[in-house]
Copies of this chain bind each other. A is one copy, B any other.
């Protein structure tokens, strides 16, 4: 069990700080200070500030995509030759994110908050999200198309938009629901969030996309 390298400490510090304050709200000096290294070391390892931001954003993307795709393949295999249900697909989309939280590493929590920041940003959102996550999303939408025969693309994508929004707000962990619900709901409780999100979203998809 070795210590993380200084390079990794920079990534971890940048991840946490970017997630909380956004790209422009964080200085390289803050990141270096948090990581306990000299400012110049960030430039040595990553180049420009923007390159560091991209490195942080890309670091965990592959692992995330892999575990979600694996979850989708699992339910597809289990339900074969029929298509998996909407609930099963949504579940495969969400539950892997929950596992990352049980892990003691707080980095994953910061990473999801960073995704929320990027996904909701007019400026960053479009390109960065598409590049890393579009393939996976299309894979899930294809599965949903199988579960909802006859659904139009327009309806499917708008429903996905609603799912994506609800998920993104969960990632952000703003604690808004904590005060709103007077402590009855906690935005840090991802499991509760998904427990309520899965039936909610599945019912929404059926209502909008299902032939009557």
Contact = CB atoms under 8 A, between A and B. Distances in A.
Interface of A: 19-25, 113, 116-117, 119-123, 125-126, 129-130, 134, 137-138, 153-155, 157-170, 172-177, 179-181, 184-185, 187, 192-193, 196-197, 199-208
Contacts of A172: 120-122, 125
A202 B208 CA distance: 10
The secondary structure that dominates the A interface is helix
Contacts of A158: 177, 185, 192-193, 196-197, 200
Contacts of A159: 196, 200
A182 B162 CA distance: 17
B24 A122 contact: no
A20 B122 contact: yes
Given A19-B122, A126-B179, A200-B208, 18 more contacts: A21-B24, A25-B123, A119-B174, A121-B172, A122-B174, A125-B172, A125-B174, A129-B174, A130-B180, A154-B185, A158-B177, A158-B193, A158-B196, A160-B180, A161-B187, A162-B200, A203-B204, A204-B204
- Each complex incorporates copies of this chain amounting to 2
Given A20-B122, A207-B200, A177 B161 contact: yes
A120 B130 contact: no
A119 B176 contact: yes
B120 A154 contact: no
Nearest to A126: B175
Contacts of A203: 203-204, 206-208
Nearest to A192: B158
A123 B25 CA distance: 10
20 contacts: A21-B24, A21-B123, A22-B123, A24-B24, A117-B121, A122-B174, A125-B176, A129-B176, A130-B176, A130-B180, A137-B180, A154-B181, A157-B181, A158-B200, A161-B170, A162-B200, A165-B166, A168-B169, A199-B207, A200-B208
